[in-house]
Amino acid sequence: MISRPSPSAALRGGGVAVALALCAAWAIPPTGGQSPTGTAGPPVLYAVSFPEPEHRWMQVTVTFTGLSPVPLSLRMSSASPGRYARHDFAKNVFDLQAEDGAGNAIEPLRSAMTHWNIAGHDGTVTVTYRIYGDRIDGTYLAIDDTHAHLNMPASLLWGVGMEARPATVRFIPPAERDWRVATQLYPSDDPLTFTAPNLSYLLDSPVEFSAFGDRSFIVTDPSDSAYAPTFRVAVHHEGTEAELARYAGHVERIVREMVAVFGEFPRFETGRYTFLADYVPSASSDAMEHRNSTVLSSPGALGSPGLLGSVSHEFFHVWNVERIRPRSLEPFDFERVNPSDELWLAEGFTNYYGALILQRAGLVPLLDTLNRFVSAIDTVRLGPGRQFRSAVDMSRLAPFTDAATAIDRTNWDNLFISYYTWGETLGLGLDLMLRARAVDADAPAVTLDDYMRLLWARFGRFGGDTPGMVARPYALADTRAALADLTGDPAFADNFFDRFVEGHEAIDFVPLFARAGLVLAPRAARRGWLGPVQFRFGRGGARVVAPSPFDSPLYDAGIARDDVLMSIDGRSFSSTGQLDEIIGDRPAGERLSVTYSRRGELRTTRVTLAEDPRLAVAAQERRGQRLTAAQRQFRRDWLDSQID
């Protein structure tokens, strides 16, 4: 414990007097939506201040009242909504002190790395601690002299047994800084004081506290003209006002196109949805969905290309995941990892729609969208991991792969295919299959949009009585049953799930793309290829920096990770271009002599080139082939705007 007095000891001094003063100051009725008051006990009161933001820590004072005489058990979360791996947020907590309602100091007992017990209190406990944060992304806490970016599980301690209590959070800006708050928390009459109806909603509510750029727009619900939620775009950035206005305009186009998929907005608890963006050089590239908001971060400037992909992906989560929610994620466990069988749909279908909506909104060129889809298709069809695991199996591995940290090297390149990518191809494939069936006279005219609407109607629209919670989460079997009901063809649903979702097969996209007048073919038929090997080039050659892919030419030749290729066919190289020049137009099946170094020992072997299996896509009309009317209509129905 740091022995010097806390820089903001005034927040803690005076014991019960301060606690009562805080209660009085924060007893402000919310104005932005449903009242978060309840019968679960008096509110938990938080004061969040920033005495020395340049040193990247903040101070939190939290007051619990109306406690039973048993010890108060405190927790720091180890999991965060939207993330599937464990994170040790408690490591950044320091200088934790406690006192009772009379101002008497109580020694907190740390019973585990994320647990503190406080015994001997008088029914009131005020805890003050400091916490360090220096990573701007969707998972952690970040503080500097320009802003504070709070992911709540990485920021706030909470009390066991008080999960149903409402909470009040007061933000205190650093001296001489005109910081404002952007958040999905319930607003009050005080612009720096917010409330939450329960712990789940509190911990699912990120905050940007800064002099951010601010834009808002309103979109009327397509199904109810009396409902018109507000969308707030709060961006901490270093760009211009013109760039912010243009960005907000693009966000609005995404929102309007996205709601057309489902036909209606959810009922946002406070009547608004907030985009929280940090586009500054110190940020990490990330994005994270929440109930009524999303976090977006990037080191790129506000006008940089690529930012809108995250916007589109995360906003689709408003329906898919936040409300159409797997049973495995509801309720969310803040103390343990949350494995799920359904991330191929929850994240993968969202990935597909993230790209599709940008295309429908006219924000990306068609070729960029198609090339992205083809890249995903190649990743799945060529990925060695498909031999061992299904898309469902890959979903279960999220606690090991979703921003999880470990220091040992793995063989994930050969054993894992991202559920984002695999799920994207499943969404793409199912959409095209359904559209192709609709062309047939005896099949229902349904698309993946209809499938998502059905899932929304069954599992998402109902909501529930507890803000932030989902009353009807789904299981894997429910997704299969929904497809059978949508198509009226249980055999079709079983075939799709058995082969492609729970099985190991890859969808054949060649005939499906042809329906839209798109030619999908090998990019370099019969040309030789070393395989999808990752190299790091230098003067001495090319180091293999990841495990050689199973069944690739280098793998079959015995060349492994950390080996350094020195020459091929007697020719040295130090760049991708030089290596491509050596391989050139050599045909598949040709054998080449390779000299390589393993732990300093020179070795020679022979490598047999494989045929390059990667695909390329081209529109028929670009190849001099005329589109049929059916192909043209198929493409329009799939890729053009769905807004009337």
How does DSSP assign 6-33, residue by residue? PTTGGGTTTTHHHHHHHHHHH---B-SS
Exposure string of 194-209, with b = 16+ CB inside 10 Å and e = fewer, is bbbbbbbbbbbbbbbb
CA distance 301 to 642: 30
Q: Does residue 17 register a pLDDT over 90?
A: no
Q: Let me know if the fold of 9-210 is the same as that of 217-338.
A: no
Nearest CA to 565 out of 583, 551, 590, 550 is that of 583
Q: Which two tokens stand for residue 141?
A: 């806490």
Instruction: Read off the DSSP letter of residue 550.
Output: T
Give residue 35's pLDDT.
Answer: 36
pLDDT in tens, 425-471: 999 999 999 999 988 878 889 999 999 999 999 999 988 889 999 99
pLDDT in tens, 599-637: 999 999 999 999 999 999 999 999 999 999 999 999 999
CA distance 606 to 602: 14
User: Who contacts 39 (Cβ-Cβ below 8 Å, separation ≥6)?
Assistant: none
The superfamily (CATH) of domain 217-338 is Neutral Protease Domain 2 (1.10.390.10)
Instruction: Give the length of the chain.
Output: 644
Q: Does residue 540 register a pLDDT over 90?
A: no
Q: Which CATH architecture has domain 9-210?
A: Sandwich (2.60)
Give residue 303's pLDDT.
Answer: 87
CA distance 396 to 415: 13
How do the domains of the chain map onto residue ranges? 9-210, 217-338, 348-518+618-639, 528-611
Find how far residue 206's CA is from the centre of its chain: 14
CA distance 530 to 126: 64
pLDDT in tens, 93-137: 999 999 999 999 999 999 999 999 999 999 999 999 999 999 999
Instruction: Read off the DSSP letter of residue 507.
Output: -
Q: What is the mean predicted confidence (pLDDT) over 355-359? A: 98
Q: What is the mean predicted confidence (pLDDT) over 519-534? A: 93
Q: Does residue 335 register a pLDDT over 50?
A: yes
Give residue 297's pLDDT.
Answer: 98
CA distance 178 to 207: 16
Q: Please state the pTM of the whole predicted model.
A: 0.93
Q: What is the mean predicted confidence (pLDDT) over 79-83? A: 95
Q: What is the mean pLDDT of the chain?
A: 93
Q: Does residue 548 register a pLDDT over 60?
A: yes
Give residue 38's pLDDT.
Answer: 44
The superfamily (CATH) of domain 528-611 is PDZ domain (2.30.42.10)
Kind and range of the H or E element at 144? strand 142-144
Q: Does residue 475 register a pLDDT over 70?
A: yes
Q: What is the mean predicted confidence (pLDDT) over 520-527? A: 92
User: Who contacts 572 (Cβ-Cβ below 8 Å, separation ≥6)?
Assistant: 541, 566
Q: Could you give phi then psi for residue 22, rounded to 5 degrees?
A: -65, -40
Q: Count CB-CB contacts under 10 A for residue 261.
A: 21
Pair type for strands 564-568 and 571-572 = antiparallel
Angle between helices 448-455 and 241-262 (to 10 degrees): 80
Give residue 37's pLDDT.
Answer: 42
Nearest CA to 325 out of 114, 81, 79 is that of 81
Instruction: Read off the DSSP letter of residue 288.
Output: E
Give residue 18's pLDDT.
Answer: 40
Residue 618's Cβ-side half-sphere holds a number of Cα atoms within 13 Å equal to 11
More reliable by pLDDT, 40 or 416: 416
Q: Does residue 30 register a pLDDT over 50?
A: no
CA distance 393 to 333: 21
Give residue 39's pLDDT.
Answer: 54
pLDDT confidence bin for 40, thresholds 50/70/90? confident
Q: Report the sign of the C-alpha dihedral through residues 110, 112, 118, 124, in that order.
A: positive
Ranges 44-48, 329-333, 335-339, 460-464: which has the least confidence: 460-464
Nearest CA to 137 out of 95, 171, 87, 180 is that of 87
What percent of the chain has pLDDT above 90? Answer: 90
pLDDT in tens, 631-641: 999 999 999 99
Kind and range of the H or E element at 519? strand 518-522
Angle between helices 241-262 and 350-360 (to 10 degrees): 110
pLDDT confidence bin for 6, thresholds 50/70/90? very low
CA distance 31 to 194: 10
pLDDT in tens, 270-305: 999 999 999 999 999 999 999 999 999 999 999 898
pLDDT in tens, 386-404: 999 999 999 999 999 998 8
Q: Does residue 325 register a pLDDT over 50?
A: yes
